[in-house]
Amino acid sequence: MRLIALLALVLGFSLAQPLTLGEQYLLRGYTGNAMGKVWAGALRFEGIEVVTNNSSICASMSGAAIASYLEARPTAQVATVALSTPDDVLRLVSFRQPALALIIGGQTDTETNYALTKAVLDEAAQRNYTGAIFIHVRTWGLGLVQRAAREDATIRRYLSGKNNLFAVLADGNAGEVRVVQASIDATSGDQRVAQVLGTQKMGEAWLALFRRSL
């Protein structure tokens, strides 16, 4: 162990300790705060429905994002739902707000997160939901939207025709988050960054937590 630590020091690396659950919440607080400001500012959402899973980590991010959004737009209409199974989508998600945010990650396993994401996107496609769809950094990073578009032609056609698909991405090397307009390829279903709409530098504490989470 001492040898590993010495090698890490020589090579300029640190042996980062895993985040505690409390630090996971704090990281999502920083990220959620930034996302809420993006919804209110750069993207100018006049109302939003936040769709998440039932994990405590995603709950902490959703709460932070909604609080930040409402601080900037106190009269905006906000709805939020926590999904446990794909069947919850029909029962809980209204698709009535001008924007829909997918905050799906946290402690929930990838296959469950994928099933939830696909169910939301399938229902949005069936309804031809015209509002903006916002994909949070973890949902994008896991490729959940891309996988749904690749595997389901209806979802692929729907998403590839949307010009109001957005995401926030984090770059630990550059120490910044980027707000992007995203796109889905009509043939392959691949997710792409169409254009970068804005950037924000991550504070030292936020960045340190983010890097340790990788």
Query: In the structure, what pLDDT confidence band is assigned to residue 167 with cuts at 50, 70 and 90?
Result: very high
What is the CATH number assigned to the segment(s) 18-213? 3.40.50.2300
Contact 156, 141 (CB under 8 A): no
Give the residue extent of every domain in the chain: 18-213
**Closest-CA residue to 99 (of 80, 126, 117, 85):** 80
pLDDT of residue 214: 86
- Three-state secondary-structure class, residue 23: helix
Please check whether residue 188 is in contact with residue 145, taking contact to mean a CB–CB distance below 8 angstroms. no
CA-derived radius of gyration, the chain:
18
From CA 205, how far away is CA 185, in angstroms rounded? 36
pTM given for the model: 0.91
| pLDDT at residue 66, as a whole number | 98
Read off the pLDDT of residues 55-100 as tens digits, 9 standing for 90 and up: 999 999 999 999 999 999 999 999 999 999 999 999 999 999 999 9
Residues 113-134 have pLDDT tens digits of 999 999 999 999 999 999 999 9
pLDDT of residue 53: 97
